[in-house]
Amino acid sequence: MAIAQVEFPKELAAFVEEWKTKPGNLIMILHRIQQEYGYIPREAAETLSRMIDLPLAKIYGVITFYHFFKTKKPGKNRLAICMGTACYLKGGQALLEEARSILNIQGDEVTDDGLYSIDAVRCVGCCGLAPVLMVGDEVYGKVSPEQLPEIIAKHRN
């Protein structure tokens, strides 16, 4: 059963064309699609399937294997709370619970206004700053639960 496809923006389509013949291209192309949409919409996967002549099942097999690829649209501001070992020992879990309680969302839910979602991520590689929180590309180190409301509010706009 085919569902609606999307037309890729010109640059994205060019990227796919460029990589089309390279061996082992799928993951690189999926990264580019996620960069475009913030996640990998079903329609985009359909389009890709036709463009590179690969079964949709195979594409989904890869998407769902890797944590990095999302099949659901995330919030405009993605809070990534590090749950690497160093952050866990220094209170990462408390940060996660506090953020969920402030935003009133669980798991991969998005706030009603579409502004926020929370990811518990594995080590972001700045263990010296544990516990670490990222909002988009911005890294906050040595964060305490008390600082969360301020950090979250800062990214509202």
Partner 1 sequence: MAYRQYMLVCGGTGCESGKSDEIYRNLLKEAEAQGVKDAVQIVKTGCFGFCEKGPIVKVLPEESFYVEVKPDDAKEIIAEQAVKGREVKRLLYDKSTRKSNNKIEDIEFYQKQFRIVLRNCGVINPENIEEYIARDGYAGLEKVLFQMKGEDVIAELKTAGLRGRGGAGFPTWLKWDLTRKAPGDVKYIICNADEGDPGAYMDRSTIEGDPHSVLEAMAIAGFAIGSNKGYVYIRAEYPLAIDRLKIAIAQAKEYGLLGDDILGSGFSFDVEIRLGAGAFVCGEETALMRSLEGNRGMPVPKPPFPAISGLWKKPTVINNVETLANIPVIITKGGEWFAKIGTEKSTGTKVFALTGKVNNSGLVEVPMGTTLREIIFDIGGGIKGGKKFKGVQTGGPSGGIIVEKDLDAPISYESLQALGSMMGSGGMIVMDEDDCVVDVSKFYMEFCVDESCGKCAPCRIGTNQMYDILDRITKGKGEEADLARLERIGKAMTKASLCMLGGSAANPTLSTIRHFRDEYLAHIRDHKCLTGKCKDLVTYSIDPSKCIGCTLCAKKCPVPCISGERKQPHVIDASRCVKCGECYAVCKFGAVVKN
Nearest approach, Cβ of residue 123 and partner 1 (Å): 4
The verdict on 51 binding partner 1 (CB under 8 A) reads no
**Do residues 112 and 151 touch, judged by C-beta distance below 8 A?**
no
Nearest approach, Cβ of residue 4 and partner 1 (Å): 25
* φ, ψ at 112 (rounded to 5°): -55, -35
Give the position of tokens 């099942």. Answer: 57
The verdict on 33 binding partner 1 (CB under 8 A) reads no
Q: Which stretch binds partner 1 (CB under 8 A): 2-10, 42-50, 106-114, 116-124?
A: 116-124
Q: Which is nearer to partner 1, 35 or 114 (CB)?
A: 35
Name the amino acid, one letter, at 112: D
Which residue in the set 127, 135, 147, 155 belongs to the binding site for partner 1 (CB under 8 A)?
127
Q: How far is CA 92 from CA 31, 81, 88, 143, in A?
A: 27, 7, 5, 9
